[in-house]
Amino acid sequence: MKEQTFFDVVIGYYSANAWLRRLIYCAVVLLAALLISVIVRAVIRSYIGKRGGRNLRADTVAKLLGSVVSVIVWFLAAIQILTVGFGMDVTSIIAAAGVLGVAVGFGAQTMVKDVITGFFILFENQFSVGEQVTVDAFNGTVEELGLRSTKIRGENGDLLIIPNGSITRVVNHSRV
């Protein structure tokens, strides 16, 4: 008797045509997700680039929106592949992801606060890289401005790294 290979078992479980159709469907979904992700990121970059010019704030907002869109597109593609491609029931996976999201949300509350505050610092253009600022009681020049933290070089050479959620008061000395 001939020994069965993995392929023989798979072919025995699914008919050859059904297996090929599922494989093609998965490839089409992955290709569509890639195309949608790339096109939407390009549209966001061109739209924000036209409206905001080339600056740190516009680049950060474009990257943030592009990342959010990519995560959503790839999540939906994964759900489609699991549901249609492999015939799995994904309701329990989605429910578990929701519960996990709530748990991570409570655990990462400070980080989320930092990112939201950083987004508003960039969106409202409160200060930019190279400007002289006083944050709370610290004077210096903004060296780096990100969504999660801000780096300020003090007059004595010290580098202060501040989580954006901790910034309560800013005086911008570069804008009179």
Question: What pLDDT does 97 receive?
Answer: 83
Asked if residue 117 lies in contact with residue 167, where contact means CB atoms within 8 angstroms, the answer is yes
Comma-separated ranges of CATH 2.30.30.60 domains in the chain: 127-172
Compute the distance between CA of residue 63 and CA of residue 70 in angstroms, rounded to an integer: 10
Question: What pLDDT does 49 receive?
Answer: 67
Residue 45 corresponds to which amino acid?
R
Domain range 6-107, CATH class: mainly alpha
- CATH number for region 127-172: 2.30.30.60
Compute the distance between CA of residue 76 and CA of residue 170 in angstroms, rounded to an integer: 41
Question: In terms of Cα–Cα distance, which of 134, 144, 146, 130 is closest to 172?
Answer: 134
Taking CA 38 as the corner, what is the angle to CA 44 and CA 84, rounded to the nearest 5 degrees? Answer: 125
Strand partners, 108: none
Compute the distance between CA of residue 109 and CA of residue 70 in angstroms, rounded to an integer: 23
Backbone angles phi, psi at 130, to 5 degrees: 95, -10
Strand partners, 159: 153
**Tens-level pLDDT at each residue, the chain (176 residues):** 567 666 565 555 555 567 777 888 889 999 999 999 999 988 988 887 665 555 666 777 777 788 888 989 999 999 999 888 788 888 888 888 888 888 887 878 888 888 889 888 888 888 888 899 998 888 999 998 888 899 999 988 899 999 999 998 999 998 87
> Cα–chain-centroid distance for residue 128?
22
Taking CA 27 as the corner, what is the angle to CA 23 and CA 28, rounded to the nearest 5 degrees? Answer: 115
Compute the distance between CA of residue 81 and CA of residue 87 in angstroms, rounded to an integer: 8
Comma-separated ranges of CATH 1.10.287.1260 domains in the chain: 6-107
